[in-house]
Amino acid sequence: METTVIRTQIAVLDDYQQVALTKADWSNLSNRADVTVFGDTLKDPEALINRLLPFDVVCVMRERTPLPRSILERLPRLKLIVSTGPKNGSVDHKAAEERGILIKDTRGSLTAPIELTWALIQASMRHVAAEAANLRAGSWQHTVGEELKGQTLGVLGLGRIGSRIAHIARAFEMEVITWSDRTKREQAENAGARLVTKNQLFEQSDVLTIHLVLVDATRGLVGPEELSLMKPTARLVNTSRGAIVDEPALIRALERNKLAGAALDVFEQEPLPPNHPFRTLKNVLATPHLGYVSQQQYSIWYEDTIRHVTDWLDSSTT
């Protein structure tokens, strides 16, 4: 009698660009598992549960598809979650542990978000997107940009990314100031920045860039009061998390030209709704959460994903 081999079912979620299978070699899993890639994100919990019911392993792109307790409790086959990047707050680790679901994170790289932050700062200051669109439309030179040299960069959050942003600013001969409730004076000085109060950060910055993690204490941290302190010539840059900024307050400030502009890569709701004001406001430069989207980053993530799945399969058969 032939023995029926039960193949492991692996789901790769939220592959918007359909690149997961091309950025790493999945062939080592082909004898033991079937890999199904989904390019969309399901917002409806029931639809998501029905999609994931057949799978033993779910590979998630961090913070695109949340996996709260209410979802995990209804996935009896699920044994392993692999998340791209460390510290995925949208997966309920406690609920997974209680159900015996193993969670593994991949390595991450800081290079991609740091480089995109500076791309957005420079593109906003020099009106790159608008001028490129004007040129394609047949016109020539509509705006006058600003140099970075001599401007004040405010860094909200001086962690692993924020400190590197501050170091790079010195190469542009910018003055750098910083504040967060955890930043110490010595830490700021080591990054080439001057520690100021929260109010001073918003009052003095010509460009204010956000580099905080999203927790209860930082949700809505940049609200109407903070925005009202900023110069009308200042620009806000956010490549961290959309919910750190009060979106309605920012929209009002931009509509009333209380700020010169905003350069945004992250939003409270992603993908950004088609009719969202950030898509049409002339003083907004918006990109679709590209901070981590690079060839090198994807290769790291999916190579690590395959390694974690392989290790789990090996341990399950011994």
Tell me whether residue 194 is one of the annotated catalytic residues. Answer: no
Name the one residue in this structure whose structure tokens are 């020099």.
Answer: 126
The answer for residues whose C-beta is within 8 angstroms of residue 211's C-beta and 6 or more apart is 117, 155, 156, 157, 158, 159, 161, 162, 165, 239, 240
Among the options 51, 164, 211, 289, which is catalytic? 289
Among the options 127, 211, 241, 308, which is catalytic? 241
Peptide bond between residue 274 and the one before it cis (omega within 30 degrees of 0): no
- Residue 190, SS3? helix
Tell me whether residue 270 is one of the annotated catalytic residues. Answer: yes
Tell me whether residue 77 is one of the annotated catalytic residues. Answer: no
Cα distance between residue 280 and residue 287, in whole Å: 12
Query: If we measure between CA atoms, which residue out of 287, 148, 266 comes closest to residue 218?
Result: 266
Secondary structure letter of residue 290 according to DSSP: -
Phi, psi of 152 (to 5 degrees): -105, 120
Among the options 97, 115, 173, 270, which is catalytic? 270
Question: What are the catalytic residues?
Answer: 241, 270, 289
